[in-house]
Amino acid sequence: MSTVLQNLVNQPYKHGFVTEIESEVAPKGLNEDTIRMISAKKNEPEWLLKFRLDAYKKWLTMTAPEWQNVKYPTIDLQAISYYAAPKPKKKLASMDEVDPELLRTFEKLGVPMHERAALAGVAVDVVFDSVSVATTYKGKLAEVGIIFCSISEAVQDHPELVKQYLGKVVPVGDNYYAALNSAVFTDGSFCFIPKGVKCPMDLSTYFRINTEGSGQFERTLIIAEDDSSVSYLEGCTAPQFDTNQLHAAVVELIAMDNADIKYSTVQNWYAGDENGVGGIYNFVTKRGLAKGVNSRISWTQVETGAAITWKYPSCILRGDNSVGEFYSVAVTNNYQQADTGTKMIHIGKNTRSTIVSKGISAGHSNSSYRGLVRITPTADGARNYSQCDSMLIGDQCGAHTFPYIQVKNNSAQVEHEASTSKIGEEQLFYFAQRGIDAEEAVSMIINGFCKDVFQQLPMEFAVEATKLLSFKLEGSVG
Amino acid sequence: MKPVTSSNHYLERLLQTWSKPSPNTLPWLKQLQVGALDCVNTLRMPTLRDEEWRFTDISSLTKLPFPVVSNPSSLQLSDIEAYCLQEAATRIVFVDGQYAPQLSCVDSDVVAGNLLSLSCAYEEEIAQHIGQHIDSKDNVFAALNTAFLQDSAIVMVPCNTTITAPIHLLFIATQQEVSSYPRCLIIAQSGSKATIVEDYVALQAANYLTNTVSEISIAANGQLNHVRVQRESRQAFHIANCNVSLARASNYHSVSVALGAAISRVNLNVALTDEGAECTVNGLALISEQQLADSHTFIDHIKPHCSSNQQHKCIVGGTAHAVFNGRIMVRPNAQQTDSKQSSRNLLLTDKAHVDTKPQLEIFADDVKCAHGATVGQLDDEEIFYLRSRGLSEIAARDLLVYAFGAEIIEQITINSLKQQLKQSILEYTKHSE
């Protein structure tokens, strides 16, 4: 391993800065009063408060899971503030009224909303800390009947939809962090695609964690009715902090007959410094329900940040002929830890699923693929193909695979393949012969390694992901 | 037999049958037994909540605290003829966990026998290995076996000696509602070469528990061929722990076949402790009706330049349930490791099911590791091909199932055993229709 690569890997986090905006922060700690306070602040209906309190009661009976292949100090959940919102201001009519400081933050992140919106036709629902402050293109989407807003708005404007679907895919007591999220979630995105509508543009949300010490509990709910389709992008960056921040989001997707949901994530949160100090804990529950016949749910993720990433975007394939897909690239460096993968639960007949997972570890990091493919007795003719490859850069890192395959139907066909490799001297030599330096060679090899996944990303994300990967690993090989 | 309710109660009841080592027991053996007993007292029976046991429900076992055999059956050679291997020159026979010298025979090239008869002449070697390759601390079955350790099958292959004839370790169950704790210690000294068959059979359909521990140590440049055949009664419980330790440039080749038992569980742990060690670990589970066969293997690459190759197959019929958990660990600095693993599973009925988990944990970068797993039924195209050549559908299916299993059986070098096991597959295909 050469020093060139070392230097490349160890580039400082480029998005580390704190925006100084006055925040309204709830006192630290979690109890029923905190939940009532959040609910009251957000002017929520009675049923939602009950939903939160039920979740809280369930959560009290649960303990934090320990089976995952990651190590971290116990999180003191009472030391977290469960609500932080930029001070409420008068309604914004245009982008000009948005806090200039906030706009500058996005500028630094390279998210020029208006420009991007105009050029790429992307509607950005910006979640800054926990409250949605600006939503663009809402009108255009409303024309075709699409509802795309923050979940708190949805609770006010479309309570019947939220009530009908919230917690249906990820029940309140699903797991420790999902229960916590259900009790205290502050905001997130809501998206409803009505019958027969193909969403005319990619929907996108930028998440930022801003106030130090505030846990973020996002809640995303996407519903695609019969014959509709949507592509949703989620991107993350966070400023540099020393104390670990917890992020326990819940994402629920529901696809009805013939509906198609594509959910893409690029995650680049603060991963801690080169000694593993600080960084975000990213404990996320993501699950899609392919409820209708011929429905399709596709998860694509590029995980490059966070001190600990721990998530398993899953598909429950209930409708006959439904399709689940999972494409993932997870890059870990320094002392980062990632335990990620997917669950494919085949229930309907002729359901199909594809899993492609690429893990790249460098430095002292560890990355694990943990996946479950379950074929239930009713899933006649189910088909699964899984491939998970790991690449190790350096001899201090680890790559692990834990695939669970459970088959209870003999007409099913399940295949799993995994391999581990490293960037070979010969490969680098080959590139050198052709006048390509080590740094660029590594970048090319890695991009080739991840090609299967990047192909699944929407155009602008693919470009961003490629860049992200090369600067994440800058200096780690040689 | 009075069933017990809680699993701790089960351990209590089992330990009631534990008797203090007799005063003339060797001190180190006594120490081993008492130490294991202390371990048992700190442990509990595993349940489905334990990750290592999440697919294997042994609650039916924990209701039945079978006592140790008090009056072993006395068998004649004619009773066990069907199980003797004609190629084997050495045969060590245990009946219900007790050594049966009248049924055993030993070839002069090899040191083989039971612990009690060999412990005078080879005390040092035995004490050095027995109980040292298995960890009882968090393994309740291994701890129980060691606590109940009275006797053991011992095989020592001397330095630079090649034993061509296979060595047959035969464990026979004859009684109903008893527990037996067979134990094997195999020491392959440096440069030696041998083939060992570890064979578990039952003379009648009976409900009993076999809880066995095998420890295998292969010294530098040693080569050991290990065939493990489990053909217990269909109502029995079979729990096995086998730990293998490989020294520099040694070679371990194993074929493990599971045919019998209502519930069987084999933990096979192979530690490649020095450079250049190689292992091949193959397995076949052939089960039907309500059988459950669980195979957990752990191949530990501790040092650089080792290779491992594993192939595990399950043929599952009836409402049977096969479990495979294959863990491969590549420790930091175990560079140049070459490891391959494949788990292939054939489901013959719509009620059969399989849980497989090929697991890689890699901490070194310059390694070649690959694993694969497939689950499926017989390929329609293959059946069609055979039918187009004039085979009936049933014959075509039988042939394909046979071929699937025979790939593992073929690796056994002992002809008579190979034929017996092939016959078992043929009978299996007949029964499963």
- DSSP character string of B361-424: EE--SS-EEEEEEEEE---HHHHHHHHHTT--HHHHHHHHHHHHHHHHHTT---HHHHHHHHHH
Identify which has the larger pLDDT, A34 or B94: B94
Task: State the DSSP code for A424.
Answer: -
Q: Using an 8 Å CB-CB cutoff, list chain A residues near B364.
A: 392, 395
Q: Report the helix count and the strand count for chain A, using DSSP H and E.
A: 13, 24
Q: Is residue B249 part of a domain?
A: yes
- Any CB–CB contact under 8 A between B362 and chain A? yes
> Quick one: pLDDT band at residue A213, thresholds 50, 70, 90?
very low
Query: What is residue A109's predicted lDDT score, i.e. its pLDDT?
Result: 52
Q: Above 70 in pLDDT, residue A23? A: no
Q: Map residue B85 onto helix, strand or coil.
A: coil
- Any CB–CB contact under 8 A between B378 and chain A? no
Token reading at A35: 């939940």
Query: What is residue A99's predicted lDDT score, i.e. its pLDDT?
Result: 58
Q: Is residue B347 part of a domain?
A: no
Strongest mean pLDDT among A13-27, A340-354, B126-140, B353-367: A340-354
Average pLDDT over residues A147-176: 88
Q: Mark yes or no for CB contact B365/A411 under 8 Å.
A: no
Nearest chain B CA: its distance from A469 CA (Å): 19
Token reading at B385: 């091909």
Task: State the DSSP code for A174.
Answer: S
Q: Report which residue type is found at B47.
A: T
List the beta bridge partners of residue A84. A25
Average pLDDT over residues A112-137: 47
Average pLDDT over residues A283-312: 91
Do both B241 and B126 map to the same domain?
yes
Do both B412 and B270 map to the same domain?
no
Among B228, B245, B274, give the residue marking a domain's end. B274
Backbone φ and ψ for A426, nearest 5 degrees, come out as -65, -40
Q: Mark yes or no for CB contact B358/A401 under 8 Å.
A: yes
- Any CB–CB contact under 8 A between A372 and chain B? no
Q: Report which residue type is found at B251.
A: N
> Quick one: pLDDT band at residue A242, thresholds 50, 70, 90?
very low
Do both B99 and B218 map to the same domain?
yes
State the number of CA atoms in the 13 A half-sphere of A305 facing the CB.
27
Backbone φ and ψ for B351, nearest 5 degrees, come out as -100, -10
Q: Mark yes or no for CB contact B365/A398 under 8 Å.
A: no
List the beta bridge partners of residue A339. A310, A368
Query: What is residue B401's predicted lDDT score, i.e. its pLDDT?
Result: 93
Tally C-beta pairs within 8 A across A and B.
111
Strongest mean pLDDT among A203-207, A252-256, A446-450, B109-113: A252-256
Q: Map residue B126 onto helix, strand or coil.
A: helix
> Residue A128 and residue A92: Cα distance in Å, rounded?
15
Q: Mark yes or no for CB contact A406/B361 under 8 Å.
A: no
Backbone φ and ψ for A127, nearest 5 degrees, come out as -105, 110
Q: Mark yes or no for CB contact A404/B355 under 8 Å.
A: yes
CA dihedral of residues B216, B219, B223, B229 (deg, nearest 10): 0
Q: Which pTM value belongs to this model?
A: 0.82
Residue of B nearest to A370 (CA): B359
Do both B401 and B253 map to the same domain?
no
Q: Is residue B376 part of a domain?
A: no
Query: What is residue B432's predicted lDDT score, i.e. its pLDDT?
Result: 57
Q: How far is CA A80 from CA A29, A35, B120, B342, B403, in A?
A: 6, 13, 67, 46, 61
When CB atoms are compared, the residue of B333, B365, B372 closest to A416 is B372
Among B225, B253, B274, give the residue marking a domain's end. B274
Interface test with A, best of B363, B365, B369, B380 (most A CBs within 10 A): B365
Q: Using an 8 Å CB-CB cutoff, list chain A residues near B363.
A: 397-398
pLDDT, one tens digit per residue, over A400-432 is: 888 999 999 888 899 888 888 888 788 889 999
Q: Above 60 in pLDDT, residue A98? A: no
Do both B269 and B409 map to the same domain?
no
Identify which has the larger pLDDT, B103 or A97: B103
Report the mean per-residue pLDDT for chain A.
79
Which residue has tokens 């012969």?
A433
Nearest chain B CA: its distance from A52 CA (Å): 29
Q: Is residue B350 part of a domain?
A: no
Q: B354: alpha, beta or left, given left = phi > 0 and alpha = psi -120 to 50?
A: beta
Q: Report which residue type is found at A434.
A: R
Do both B270 and B385 map to the same domain?
no
Q: Is residue B30 part of a domain?
A: yes
Identify which has the larger pLDDT, A265 or B240: B240
Contact at 8 Å (CB) between B272 and B301? yes
Contact at 8 Å (CB) between A242 and A107? no
> Residue A290 and residue A169: Cα distance in Å, rounded?
10
> Residue B347 and residue B369: Cα distance in Å, rounded?
27
Query: What is residue A268's predicted lDDT score, i.e. its pLDDT?
Result: 78
Identify which has the larger pLDDT, A453 or A288: A288
Query: What is residue A474's predicted lDDT score, i.e. its pLDDT?
Result: 64
Q: Using an 8 Å CB-CB cutoff, list chain A residues near B310.
A: none
Q: Mark yes or no for CB contact B373/A416 under 8 Å.
A: yes
Q: Above 80 in pLDDT, residue A95? A: no
CA triplet B321, B326, B327: central angle to 5 degrees?
145
Q: Is residue B342 part of a domain?
A: no
Token reading at B10: 């089960």
| Number of domains into which chain B is organized | 2
> Residue B338 and residue B280: Cα distance in Å, rounded?
12
> Residue A350 and residue A316: Cα distance in Å, rounded?
13
Query: What is residue B108's predicted lDDT score, i.e. its pLDDT?
Result: 82
Average pLDDT over residues A362-377: 90
Nearest chain B CA: its distance from A352 CA (Å): 14
Q: Is residue B300 part of a domain?
A: no
Q: Is residue B260 part of a domain?
A: yes
Boundaries of domain holding B425: 381-433
Identify which has the larger pLDDT, A141 or B153: B153
Query: What is residue A124's predicted lDDT score, i.e. its pLDDT?
Result: 53
Which residue has tokens 């994440």?
A472
Among B225, B254, B274, give the residue marking a domain's end. B274
When CB atoms are compared, the residue of B332, B353, B376 closest to A413 is B376
Question: Which of A97-101, A189-193, B44-48, B196-200 bottoms out in mean pLDDT, i.e. has the lowest?
Answer: A97-101
Task: State the DSSP code for A197.
Answer: P
Residues 6+ apart with CB under 8 A from A447: A454, A466, A469, A470
Q: Give the residues of chain B that fall short of pLDDT 50.
A: 1-3
- Any CB–CB contact under 8 A between B319 and chain A? no
The percent of residues above 90 in pLDDT, for chain A, comes to: 28
Using the CB atoms, write b or e for B57-74: b if 16+ within 10 Å. Answer: ebeebbbbbbebbeebee
Q: What ipTM was estimated for this complex?
A: 0.78
Query: What is residue B43's predicted lDDT score, i.e. its pLDDT?
Result: 87
